[in-house]
Amino acid sequence: MAPRRNQQEGLVGAMDPEAIENHDASVTRCCVPGVECLRGDAPIPLEDLRDVVKVTCNNDHCSAGRYMHRECFDEWEQTVLTYLKSCGRARSWSERQRHQNLWTKKGYDLAFKACGCRCGKGHLKKDLDWVPPPPGFGPKEDDSAKKKKRRNKQNNRPSLAVSAHHNSELRARTGSLSSSNGSSSPPASASSVSPVHSGSFGSSSSSGCGGGGSGSSKMGCCRRDIFFRKIHNSGNGIFSRRQDFSSFNSLPRHKLNSYHIKMEDEGNHGNDDTRCFILSTLAANHTSRVACILCHAPMLVYDRYPLIDGTFFLSPRQHSKSCIETKVEGRTQFLSAVCMGCLEAWAPGRRLRCRYCNTPWDGSSLVLGTMYSYDIFAAMPCCTERLKCNSCQKPLLMPHQRLNFFSDYSHRVACPHCTAQDFHFVKPLPFCYAREWP
């Protein structure tokens, strides 16, 4: 288990021994451990911290310093990544995943032993909340106190125990859908492979939003992220802060884990692209609630994963008036939501059955609290009626054929018979399904 994060941080540079020794409170020294400072121990001016990285030590009485030259940190970080490469489940991660997860709980729990501090009594961790101040901005005691109070409030996240007898079930490990890796519960990402590979139609490339872009370019997401850091860090945003996870108690016990419920960000700085896209889209429409497109029940949207008690998805078709129109890589999409009750089909009237083959639609395998970058109802066609052209009603695929990717069913394609271009596989829900009543 990783050591707890140091919650007591004084003035910038106040605990630095070199500054005290040199009687110069305006500079500090690079605290890189285990390797030589690449700048020959050049002092770091506290009035200009643009080219440094801040770290924290979990030893409350650490006096080794708080800053590293950026190139020193990069060199040291590589040694930690090398160690992480040999640790447990991180062995199966890609280089990108290891780099993304290193300073989050998911990776740091495995790598903290390689992060020993110079003080010899603690472990270092990159301060993901720290933003370099502009040059000449001197630290003030009241500013530091306010920052400390705000940070402590952010770290006061709700307990992951959903109830007294479920303490060990819901772990704080990332779920199945992320911006960097695939899913363990199909379908879970835009590039998830369809169950049957025989035959191919249309593009086999993945849709953009479930991958690294998650619905928009990285630069656009960065602009939105500046806005949302202000909203979330202030605690005064339009989105709710989840106090507990009791709403998931109705799930079967074997689903109370992070494989079925999205729990953590995947971004380097705790700013996941998918979450950023969803919250920025909703904020632009001044809404903090969404409605299930099946039962129309309202759902609160939370500022951290799991974002809702259900799941979001993108569709080229507006299934309900509650679906929010947005642009994804230049294409018009509709941000839609389905509640947990309809996904699990608990109550009478919640289960949907195909009007043609009577097959029930099952959304219980979908990860809760996140977003799919394709239409989840079109992704798994159950009969040939779902494969027909919207214009000439002739089948676009043979009954035994399936597209390579779940996202392919949400793409615009041309009918091989009448050449009409449309989202042929994304049918209106009333056309495909009827509610099952007792």
Packed helices 273-284 and 218-234: angle between N→C axes, nearest 10 degrees? 70
- Stretch 119-145: mean pLDDT: 71
- Stretch 35-54: mean pLDDT: 86
Domain identity same for 100 and 177: no
Is residue 65 packed enough to be buried (19+ CB in 10 Å), middle (13-18) or exposed (0-12)?
buried
- In-domain check, residue 97: yes
Residue 213 scores a pLDDT above 80: no
Domain identity same for 224 and 183: yes
Three-state DSSP class for residue 289? strand
- In-domain check, residue 62: yes
Question: CA 153, CA 147: separation in Å to the nearest integer?
Answer: 10
Domain identity same for 260 and 356: yes
Question: CA 298, CA 242: separation in Å to the nearest integer?
Answer: 16
Is residue 150 packed enough to be buried (19+ CB in 10 Å), middle (13-18) or exposed (0-12)?
middle
The percentage of the chain sitting over the pLDDT mark of 70, rounded to a whole number, equals 69
Sign of CA dihedral 359, 365, 370, 371: negative
pLDDT of residue 161: 35
161, 248 Cβ separation under 8 angstroms: no
- Stretch 19-42: mean pLDDT: 76
248, 344 Cβ separation under 8 angstroms: no
Three-state DSSP class for residue 166? helix
Question: CA 311, CA 369: separation in Å to the nearest integer?
Answer: 5
Q: Which helix (H) or strand (E) holds 379?
A: none
Residue 183 scores a pLDDT above 70: no
Domain identity same for 23 and 104: yes
Angle at 377 between CA 374 and CA 383, to 5 degrees: 125
Least confident of 100-114, 126-140, 285-299: 126-140
- In-domain check, residue 319: yes
Domain identity same for 121 and 183: no
Supply the range of the domain harboring residue 125.
17-155
Question: CA 345, CA 249: separation in Å to the nearest integer?
Answer: 15
Strands 298-300 and 331-339: unpaired
Phi/psi at 372 (5° precision): -105, 140
Q: Residue 62 is which amino acid?
A: C
Does 17 sit behind a cis peptide bond, omega within 30 degrees of 0 on the bond before it? Answer: no
Residue 293 scores a pLDDT above 80: yes
- In-domain check, residue 165: no
How many C-beta neighbours within 10 Å does residue 197 have?
Answer: 11
Between 11 and 433, the more confident residue is 433
Question: CA 295, CA 437: separation in Å to the nearest integer?
Answer: 14
- In-domain check, residue 164: no
Domain identity same for 149 and 178: no
In the listed set 155, 186, 219, which residue is the last one of a domain according to the structure?
155
In the listed set 109, 131, 155, which residue is the last one of a domain according to the structure?
155
Residue 426 scores a pLDDT above 90: yes
Residue 417 scores a pLDDT above 60: yes
Question: CA 413, CA 401: separation in Å to the nearest integer?
Answer: 16
pLDDT of residue 270: 54
Q: In which band, very low, low, confident or very high, does the pLDDT at 131 lie, cut at 50, 70 and 90?
A: confident
Strands 67-69 and 352-354: unpaired
Beta bridge partners of 334: 315, 325
Domain identity same for 179 and 38: no
Residue 204 scores a pLDDT above 80: no
Q: In which band, very low, low, confident or very high, does the pLDDT at 332 lie, cut at 50, 70 and 90?
A: very high
pLDDT of residue 149: 55
- In-domain check, residue 3: no
Write down the residue that tokens 């214009």 correspond to: 391
Q: In which band, very low, low, confident or very high, does the pLDDT at 197 lie, cut at 50, 70 and 90?
A: very low
Write down the residue that tokens 């009241």 correspond to: 142
pLDDT of residue 145: 53
The structure tokens listed for 33 are 């451990």
- In-domain check, residue 84: yes
Residue 115 scores a pLDDT above 80: yes
Domain identity same for 306 and 224: yes
Q: In which band, very low, low, confident or very high, does the pLDDT at 41 lie, cut at 50, 70 and 90?
A: confident
Domain identity same for 108 and 205: no
In the listed set 122, 155, 188, which residue is the last one of a domain according to the structure?
155
Domain identity same for 257 and 204: yes
- Strand residues in 191-302 grouped as ranges (E): 289-291, 298-300
Count up the domains in the chain and report the number.
2
Q: In which band, very low, low, confident or very high, does the pLDDT at 435 lie, cut at 50, 70 and 90?
A: confident
- In-domain check, residue 141: yes
The structure tokens listed for 99 are 């780099």
pLDDT of residue 94: 85
Domain identity same for 214 and 126: no
Q: Residue 102 is which amino acid?
A: L
Residue 415 scores a pLDDT above 90: yes
Domain identity same for 297 and 257: yes
- Predicted TM-score of the model (pTM): 0.52
